[in-house]
Structure 1
């Protein structure tokens, strides 16, 4: 069991393979799943060889859990998943975890963009807070199936515009094209680019979003993406107590997390 104050071993910088996982939970199931993660599943997965990144509640849908985990390679991913899902921690807690879920198959299999834009160092772990975190994480998922490939536009000029206008580090990943070698855990078809940024609070995000919306370069980029058939989802996320999200730029040294 993880104790308050332990230094994080997680974080996704340097991971060649990253999963972005979005679970639709039964009403009221978020707190039950969060407690399982906090007490058992973070350590259990890391002991199996995974690296846990951000863990979030979707602020626009409180019954959705969004989280990231990383691996050294596709081969190491298979080994780590097999070790965990056939091991004692998952065997003990899987029924309780699965009981919280309606859908756990919304999963993107990703790798760093070229050029790579990895996350910054994660926030140090703290104990569960007594109030909801003010930290405001934002992720955008661009997806497409046919037509021109907009990845180079997003990873190049698009990332630079995001970094300049948002004023914080922006992590970015693209689709990992290798076959899913652990078919017991499905992944979504299609091609995707995901970016993630973290702000001290909602006010900082709203100011940044206004700057981005006014940028003519960003409007041209998003116009080209739409013309290429790409769609996007913008997620507003709240970190949990065991989240390894990137440290918010300009924020205070300590963070309060979702209450137990």
Structure 2
């Protein structure tokens, strides 16, 4: 699979009503550089366009051991301790383009789409090969600018103080679109594509245990992915 980091976390936070902008301002202003100084890569922060109280972020690590060390250092360190009450009040509790500088407020115009396929068993190499060899070219030729794709890391959570959804098996891929109209055109083109119908849908039908979720994400002012 194409990856930007060996280990990437997709974190989705459902916040207290009306508090998302408070968290975004805090995260973009105070939390990016301190986390990256500890070895994390803060890949992207987003508003969920279909849920006004959901904040989504992606952060990358070199491996599970460095993830544990970095998270322990951050959540046990001075930056989190100084701002955790504000973050927790918003609901943020412990449970690639260039980034804009601190203080930036201009929201990028594009949207990022995350498509998640859920399986009831670990994702096998045959599906990964199918995605890379057949599915990804069809997605690209119908208008999806694919950013990255990932498969579940089934290792034990190395930082239990920050829970993750364990026991789930997914493939997720991200794509960039210039705006909602561009995304709508892509969906229409994909639906009408003979290659999608004949080469991809038939194969997906074989995997009858697949469920799909689509995240429509609007990058924050300082998101690397935009």
Structure 1: distance between partners of 2:94 and 2:14: 7
Unaligned runs of 5+ in 1: 1-11, 106-120, 247-260
Q: CA deviation at 1:156?
A: 3.0
Structure 1: distance between partners of 2:39 and 2:64: 12
Unaligned runs of 5+ in 2: none
CA contact (8 A) 1:48 1:84 kept: yes
Q: CA deviation at 1:238?
A: 0.7
CA contact (8 A) 2:113 2:215 kept: yes
CA contact (8 A) 1:84 1:90 kept: yes
Does residue 238 (structure 1) correspond to residue 213 (structure 2)? The answer is no
Residue of structure 2 equivalent to 1:181: 158
User: Structure 1 length as normaliser, TM-score?
Assistant: 0.76
Residue of structure 2 equivalent to 1:53: 43
Structure 1: distance between partners of 2:69 and 2:202: 41
Q: CA deviation at 1:103?
A: 7.8
Residue of structure 2 equivalent to 1:99: 89
Structure 2: distance between partners of 1:44 and 1:197: 27
CA contact (8 A) 2:111 2:180 kept: yes
Residue of structure 1 equivalent to 2:77: 87
Residue of structure 1 equivalent to 2:20: 30
- For 1:27-176, what aligned pairs fall within 5 Å after superposition? 27-101=17-91, 121-125=96-100, 127-129=104-106, 133-146=108-121, 149=124, 150-176=127-153
Which runs of structure 1 show a deviation greater than 4 angstroms over 4 or more consecutive aligned residues?
102-105
Quick check: 139-148 or 29-38, which moved more? 139-148
Q: Secondary structure of the equivalent of 2:225?
A: coil
Structure 2: distance between partners of 1:71 and 1:164: 31
Quick check: 208-217 or 133-142, which moved more? 208-217
> Can you list the C-alpha shifts for 1:67-93, whole angstroms capped at 9, x where unaligned?
100011111111111111111111111
| Residue correspondences, number | 218
Residue of structure 2 equivalent to 1:225: 204
Q: Greater share of helix residues, 1 or 2?
A: 2
> Can you list the C-alpha shifts for 1:80-134, whole angstroms capped at 9, x where unaligned?
11111111111111222122118875xxxxxxxxxxxxxxx324415212xx542
Q: CA deviation at 1:181?
A: 1.1
Which of 183, 190, 199 is the aligned partner of 2:177? 199
CA contact (8 A) 1:147 1:228 kept: no
Q: Secondary structure of the equivalent of 2:142?
A: helix
CA contact (8 A) 1:15 1:72 kept: yes
User: Structure 2 length as normaliser, TM-score?
Assistant: 0.86
CA contact (8 A) 1:148 1:228 kept: no
